Amino acid sequence: MSVDGCNTVLVLGGIRSGKSEFAESLVADAVVVRYVATAAGGDPDDAEWAARLEAHRNRRPETWTTEETGDDPRRLADVLANAQPHETLLVDDLGGWITVLLDPVHQPADDTATITELAEAVRACPARLVLVSPEVGLSLVPTTPLGRAFADALGSANRAVADACAAVALVVAGQPCWLKRPGAPATGPAGAPAVPFPGDPAPAGSDRHRAGIPAQAGPAEPDARVTPGAGASVPEPALPDVLTPAVPPAAPSADGTAWAAPTMALPMVATGLVIQNGMELPLPDEYAGPQAVERLATRDVPGAGLGILERVVGFAAATQGTPTPQPWGPVRVLLLHGDHEGGASAGSTADESARRAAQARGGVGVLARLAAENGATLQVVDAPTAGPIEIGPALAAEAVESALRHGWRLAEEAADAGVHLLVLAACGAGTEAAAAAVLAATAGAEPPAVLGRVVRDGTVDDTAWMSRCATVRDALHRTRHASRDAKTVLTELGGGDIAVATGILLGATARRLPVLLDGPVGVAAGMVSRDLAGQARHWCLLPDHGGHPAVRLAADVLGLTPLLDLRLDLGEGANALAALPLLRSVLALAAALPARGGDADPAGTPDADDDEAPEFAEPEPAGPGPTTTGSDDEERTYAPDRHAG
């Protein structure tokens, strides 16, 4: 179910009406949901109440996190006030919150003031927010003082919160009835996504799936894709917004406001993919690359020519399918924001990675500035948080399947939008250690050899480095008897960000879309993708290793020779963006150079054959490599590749 033009939704309903299931379906698309539980623990001897709570817990996906506020009713307003614009919160429910508020332990208190404070927090909440509350105003007036106090307080809370929300739904017998809709199209505060309202015609140029609330008529199962053998369905997350950073003016504006990044809507790409080992995906043109390099030898170039940068020309020619490649046009940066818990994040914090992601969303910081300088769009992708790998799996198997498909859809959406080149970036806490664990498992590397030094505020933190080494060592020991196939490695060691990155590489390969890598997450995804589709590495280019030992090792295994040795350490993705202008210049020069020798035009113009060179080939929806069955809406399976390297 979708709600257009609103960021906050209140779901009302009676007992067993289906209100909680409906509210959960509204946020089923989100990769990560913070579930705010308001009820107190209850009587441990009340088996029926405990069964109700357990049923609620069992419905929540493993990627959701839970926050309890039952010990203090005033905490709920603080949780909403401190939420971030990119977050999704589900509060269930206000009836439990009122029960705690009226508890004698929290009295005497000004209940009216507390309810008003909650309503103001809902109105100002920057996150995407769905609240659940029981509707008790349709029954008889309770005969007991405590019952009347509860009904009165909950009725007042429902009125105040409904007034603060942009949309209100009443669920009766499992059927939602919308009581309130926004008066005019609007967007959520501080860049939070707005969501379409059901029943309204979609405005021109809009996309009903941009906010990710599934379009369905009631509390039915959320839109899901089921992988055979997975045993459970995992909701497909909506694609994040695409930001277009702009180069700031030379002088700041008079009011001191920062430059803004406009957002464009994204379509939902329903692929119904089955991602499996040995997929047969397309390879770059094996003839165009060598022909492009041979052509350079006939150009009128002073000196020895382009040197190692000839590889850029060969790579572009092979991926574009022409011996006269053109400079890459539209570029998209995919910034993966996924944290890792436990010792993997020693020396780094989730707050710092969240700040980096918020900077990118706001159009500030190193990555956004470099993207603006290159005219690239920027997409911040939230990946599920990985658990401590030294204790247990990083992610559930179902979540890995969902993350792989989500990454594939991101690449497909970029290809459909006319993007010529992807740049893979990452900013999560603990990504280096997770990537090192993946490399150790797939390439047999020793953890200390692939873990770079930990630098905090300009100071080397050897204690954090040793903690990361111990974490990777313990994780490898824990999984010593586990399979080393791609999905098991992602489940046990890799986590959400590396799984999404792997899906991006696979989807880009299927759509013949080249990818720039330059950091641990990207190369770890490249290592994992070898088992799923050996062709993926041939669509990747490594501009610079950044001095990172993990990148150097993986590059050697994957056959990706770094083009430069600048040793930039600006964050994963930023190094590639810094080198991109040079790579584009090389392609422009190679395409425009005149022929050398007696046949050269005295004016120095390219020869006739060059004038007839094809323009940059748009990424194709399907190449000769993949095989499909059925229509686009049906499940698509790629046959195993028996010849991929």
Helices and strands counted in the chain (H then E): 20, 20
Q: Confidence class of residue 214 from pLDDT cuts 50, 70 and 90?
A: very low
How far is residue 317's CA from residue 322's CA, in Å, rounded to a whole number?
A: 5
Contact between 514 and 315 under an 8 Å Cβ cutoff? The reply is yes
Q: What does the mean pLDDT of the chain come to?
A: 77
Q: Confidence class of residue 248 from pLDDT cuts 50, 70 and 90?
A: low
How far is residue 315's CA from residue 320's CA, in Å, rounded to a whole number?
A: 8
The per-residue pLDDT for 188 is 38
How many Cβ atoms sit within 10 Å of the Cβ of residue 71? 11
Higher pLDDT, 107 or 435: 435
The per-residue pLDDT for 48 is 74
Q: Could you tell me the two tokens for 531?
A: 């088992």
Three-class SS state of 37: strand
Backbone dihedral angles phi then psi of residue 91, each to the nearest 5 degrees: -100, 120
How far is residue 442's CA from residue 450's CA, in Å, rounded to a whole number?
A: 13
The per-residue pLDDT for 596 is 78
Q: What is the pLDDT of residues 362-415, one digit of tens each?
A: 888 889 899 999 999 999 999 999 999 999 999 999 999 999 999 999 999 999
Residue 231, sorted as left (phi over 0), alpha (psi -120 to 50) or beta, turns out to be left
Contact between 284 and 325 under an 8 Å Cβ cutoff? The reply is no
Instruction: For tokens 């890459």, name the residue.
Output: 328
With a CB cutoff of 8 Å and minimum separation 6, the contacts of 59 are 20, 21, 24
Q: Which residues are catalytic?
A: 572
Q: Residue 425, class by beta-carbon neighbours within 10 Å (0-12 exposed, 13-18 middle, 19+ buried)?
A: buried
Q: Could you tell me the two tokens for 249?
A: 């003016």
Task: Kindly tell me if the per-residue pLDDT of 208 is higher than 50.
Answer: no
The per-residue pLDDT for 349 is 86
Cis omega (within 30 of 0) on the bond before 325? Answer: no
Q: Residue 419, class by beta-carbon neighbours within 10 Å (0-12 exposed, 13-18 middle, 19+ buried)?
A: buried
Task: Kindly tell me if the per-residue pLDDT of 456 is higher than 60.
Answer: yes
How many Cβ atoms sit within 10 Å of the Cβ of residue 609? 11
Cis omega (within 30 of 0) on the bond before 416? Answer: no
How far is residue 376's CA from residue 196's CA, in Å, rounded to a whole number?
A: 28
Average pLDDT of span 560-582: 85
CA dihedral 291, 292, 293, 299 (to 10 degrees): 110
Q: What is the pLDDT of residues 59-101, one digit of tens each?
A: 777 788 888 887 788 889 999 999 888 889 999 889 888 888 8
Q: What is the pLDDT of residues 312-343, one digit of tens each?
A: 899 999 999 988 899 999 999 999 999 999 99
Instruction: For tokens 């140029």, name the residue.
Output: 205
The per-residue pLDDT for 630 is 37
Task: Kindly tell me if the per-residue pLDDT of 152 is higher than 80.
Answer: yes
How far, CA to CA in Å, does 36 sit from each of 49, 56, 81, 195, 208?
18, 12, 13, 21, 26
Q: What is the pLDDT of residues 598-610, one digit of tens each?
A: 455 544 445 544 5
Task: Kindly tell me if the per-residue pLDDT of 420 is higher than 90.
Answer: yes
Which of 14-18, 97-101, 200-204 is least confident? 200-204
pTM for this prediction:
0.57
Q: Confidence class of residue 617 from pLDDT cuts 50, 70 and 90?
A: very low
Run of H or E residues at 637:
strand 636-637
The per-residue pLDDT for 132 is 95
In 138-287, which residue ranges form alpha helices assigned H by DSSP?
145-164
Residue 333, sorted as left (phi over 0), alpha (psi -120 to 50) or beta, turns out to be beta
The per-residue pLDDT for 622 is 42
Which of 50-59, 286-295, 443-452 is least confident? 50-59
